[in-house]
Amino acid sequence: MAKLKGIKRVNRIINEFTAQFGIVARFDTEFEAFCDDMTVGYTLLHTGRDDNDFIEHAQERYPEVQADIFLWAFFHEIGHCMTEDMWTEEERDYFWKQKDVMLEPALDRNYINTWYYACPDEFFATRWAGEYMMNHPKKVAKFWNELQPAIMRFYRKNGLIGEE
């Protein structure tokens, strides 16, 4: 795998921010939460329809939060770690089994999304994200104002966008 230029700076900025929650972040292929070891994965690539569905859902629930899709997805994953202690092991297993059923391609996408976003662990992770961003707008803005230019440098250094 080719070395990604500029990812160390992005990762440093993100991990300086997540330290306040006792969470470590790592560059990954998708946004994910690994609550057992308080780790979140993040990506710098928009992955398509699922991202669009998620951001539409989040913005519908929290129209007062004006945030980039990266911030929504990132804070949602932090929200999983921050709300993980709400669930028993049996409840978490049930949520995962139900989400596996939702992967059935024959199911209607609107039906899947309605159920998926109502699943308690997803619902509360999004709630945590929305409330955090509403209650800490200056902190979020400061974080984004430092992170976003580092992400843009990452894109330029790796040839994903042209030089300005």
Question: How many distinct helices (H) and strands (E) make up the chain?
Answer: 7, 3
Q: In this structure, is residue 162 part of a structural domain?
A: no
Q: In this structure, is residue 107 part of a structural domain?
A: yes
| pTM (2 d.p.) | 0.91
Q: Which parts of the chain have pLDDT scores under 70?
A: 1-2, 47-51, 163-164
Q: In this structure, is residue 78 part of a structural domain?
A: yes
- The confidence score (pLDDT) of residue 83 equals 97
Q: How many domains does the structure of the chain reveal? A: 1
Q: In this structure, is residue 164 part of a structural domain?
A: no
Let me know: does 22 contact 84? Beta carbons within 8 Å: no
Q: In this structure, is residue 43 part of a structural domain?
A: yes
Q: In this structure, is residue 61 part of a structural domain?
A: yes
Domain hosting 141: range is 7-157
Q: In this structure, is residue 51 part of a structural domain?
A: yes
Eight-class DSSP state of 6:
T
